[in-house]
Amino acid sequence: MHTAPQTIPPNAKFADYADSQWKVGVKTKSHEVSVLYAGAYDRLNYTQAVANSTTQRENAILSLLNPGVDLANYNSNTDNRPPVGIDRQFHTGGFRWQFDAGRFSQTLQGQVNRFKEQFELDFRSPFTGETMFKFEILDHRNDKDAFYEAEVELIKSHVLIRAGAQYREYNWELSMHNLTENSTVNPNTPKFVDTINRLIDENRTFRSLYDGDRTFYFTASTFFEAEILWAGLRLTPGIRSDYYSLSKDRGVGPRIGAEYFFESTGTRLLASGSKHFAPPSGLEQISNESGNPFLKMEEADHWAGGIEQQIGRSFQVRIEGFRNRFRHLAVEDEWNHKPFSPRDNKRDLVEKTESIIKTPLETRPLFYSDIGDGESHGVELFIAKKPEVNYGLSGWISFTASWSKRNNHQPRLTSDERTDFNKRTFRKELSFYHRFGPLQYLEYDDGHKEWLYDNDRAELYDLDRTYQASVVIRYSFNSTWRIGAHWKYADNLPITPIENHQKITVGPISTYLPEYSKAYNSARYTAVHQLNLRLDHFNNYEWGYGNWFIEFMNVYGRQNVEKENFNFMYPYYRGFNPEPQYESTYLQSGKKRIPIINAGLEMRF
C-alpha cells in the first residue's frame, strides 16, 4: 500500500489481521486432558477512496456558492465505505477430558467463545437517497458450551452405542455507538435532529439499537446413536432432542445413515436421511425489543444418496444427489402482531408513564414470523487423485448444481391495493390480530376489520448459486517443494434488477429514485471466477513442520461484481447507473489488472 498505492483499486478494502492458537495436553494410559486457546483480530484499514470521497464532499459543499461546478461530478448519495467489519475479534478457550477403557470411553469438554465486532453503517433519506448520518454497531456475543459423550462397544467390531448431551448458553448484545451527522447538499433531505427523534419514537429497531439491545437464551440437546458394522454394511441410526429456551420450543429429530462397500470392485453405496432443528440465527429476529422472541426453531429435513468408486490406488470418484426441505423459517412479517402485550419498553416506562398507567397493554408488532418454508435439491460430483508416494501429481475437481427456493407466505398487495388499504386504515390503531392458516384477520380500535390472504409464491433464494465448480491441481517435486493451482467458479447471487426511475424535483435539484422489477431475484450479476497459483517450501522437523509459501491470487485479474451502486443524482441508465462495484481481488496498473501477491510462514506442531 505504501510502495505502490496507485495499483490499489479505489474500492479496495485491506485489513490488519493476526491469529494464534495453542494447545497443551497430558496423556496417561487411560486418560487424556488438553487445554486449548484460539484467537484472532481483524482491523480494517480504508484506502484512497475514503480520502477522495472526503475531498469531493468538501468541494461539493463549497460549490453551493457557485452551483453546477463540482456537484455535477460528485455523488452525494453513495459512500465508499460499505458496511464491513472495522474491528473484529474472536477468542475461544476450552478443555477436553477423554477416558478410554477399551470397550468403554467417554468425553467431557467445555468452551467459552467471545466474539466482538464493530462495523459502520449509514442512514439514507428515503426521499433523496442522500446519506444523513453514520453510526457504528457493536455486535458482542459471549457463548458457553458444555458437551458430554459416552461410547460402549456392545459387540466387538460390530455394534457401538453412543449417547450424550450438550448445553449452549448465549449472551448477545447489539448497540449503537458514535452517531455522527453527515453533511448534506440536497435541500429535499430532512433535518438530522428531526429524523433522529422520529426514528427513536416510531422505529422500534432503531430505538433498541440506540438504547442497547441485549438477549439471553440457551439450548439443551440429548442424542443417541448406534453404529452397526457387518461385512460391508454400515448403519448409523440415531435420534436427537433439542430445546430452545426463548420460545420453549422442542424438537425431536430421527436420523439414519447407510453404507455398503463392495470390496471386490471398490464401490461404496451411500444413503442418509435426517431431521434437524436450530434457533433463528439473527438477534434482530429474536430480540425482545425489536423482534419476535416467540419464534419456533427452524426445521430442516435432509435426504441424500450416492455412489463412491475407487479407481486404482490413487483415484476416487463420488456422485451424490440431495434434497432438503425447510419449515418454520424466520421471515420478515410486517403484519404479525401480538395482542394484549404489556408495554414494558424501558424508555417508554420513563417517558410515557402516564400513558402506560392508563393503557398498560398494546398490540405489539413482532416484525418476524416463523411461517417461511422452502426447499433445495441438487447433485454433487467429486473426483480426487491422491499421490501414491510423497511426490507427483495430486488434486481434486468438484462440481455442484443446486436449486434453492423460499416462500415467505406474505400477502402481496399491488400498489393500488396498498394505497386503498392505507386509506381505509389511516389514523386507525390496530387492536387485534390473528392468523387463520392462509388468512390474516386485523381489527382496529374503531371496529374496522381487514382480511388479508397469503398469495405469496416460492422464489429463488437470496443466497442461491446454481452452478459451482472448483479445480485444485498440485505437483510435489519431493517432500520439500510443491507447486499448485486453484481455479474456482460460481454463479453470482440473484438480484432484483432496477428497470427505471422515479424523478422528484423540488427547487433546483432533482432526485431519482430507483424502480425495481416486479420479478423478484430474476437476474444475476456476472459469474464469479478466479485462478490462484501457489509455491510451497516445507521444512520438516521432529516436532512438526514449517511451510514458507508465496501465492499469486487472481492471476488473470478477473473483476468479480460484488454489488451495484445507484447514484440518486442521476437517472437510471443501463450499464452506467447503477454502476457495478467489484471485489478487491486484484491490483491496478494503468489499464492492466495484476494479481495480489501473498507470502507467509505457517508453523505446525
Averaged pLDDT score across all residues of the chain = 87
Most confident of 41-55, 191-205, 229-243, 531-545: 229-243
Q: Are the C-beta atoms of residues 527 and 491 closer than 8 Å to each other?
A: yes
pLDDT interval class at 6 (50, 70, 90): low
For residue 214, give every residue at least 6 positions away whose Cβ sits within 8 Å of its Cβ, in sequence order, or none. 171, 172, 173
Res 107: pLDDT:
97
pLDDT value at residue 594 = 87
Lowest-confidence range among 371-375, 423-427, 578-582, 601-605?
601-605
Residue 14's pLDDT band (boundaries 50, 70, 90)?
low
- Encode pLDDT of 333-388 as tens digits: 999 999 999 988 888 888 889 989 999 999 999 999 999 999 999 999 999 998 87
Decide: 150 and 165 in contact? Cβ < 8 Å: no
Q: Mention every residue, 6+ apart, whose C-beta is less than 8 A from residue 295.
A: 246, 247, 279, 280, 285, 286, 328, 330, 368, 369, 370
pLDDT at 239 over 60: yes
Q: What is the DSSP letter of 601?
A: E
- The residues near 532 (Cβ < 8 Å, ≥ 6 apart) are 485, 486, 487, 551, 552, 553, 554, 555
Confirm if 150 and 105 have CB atoms less than 8 A apart: yes
* The pLDDT value given to residue 539: 87
Phi and psi torsions of 60, nearest 5°: -65, -40
Closest C-alpha to 362, from 339, 335, 337, 334? 339
Cell numbers given for 231:
461385512
For the beta carbon of residue 283, count every other beta carbon within 10 angstroms. 19
The ranges assigned to domains in the chain are 11-202, 486-605
Angle ∠(541,546,552) on CA atoms, nearest 5: 150
DSSP 192-235: HHHHHHHHHHH-HHHHHHHH-EEEEEEEEEEEEEEEEEETTEEE
Q: Looking at this protein, which amino acid is placed at residue 556?
A: Y
Give the number of other CB atoms < 10 A from CB of residue 573. Answer: 11
Confidence of residue 210 (pLDDT cuts 50, 70, 90): confident
pLDDT tens-digit series, residues 446-496: 999 999 999 999 999 999 999 999 999 999 998 899 999 999 999 999 999
Q: What confidence category does residue 292 fall into, taking pLDDT thresholds of 50, 70 and 90?
A: very high
pTM score, whole prediction: 0.83
| SS3 track for 176-198 | EEEEEECCCCCCCCCCHHHHHHH
Residue 70 has pLDDT above 70, yes or no: no
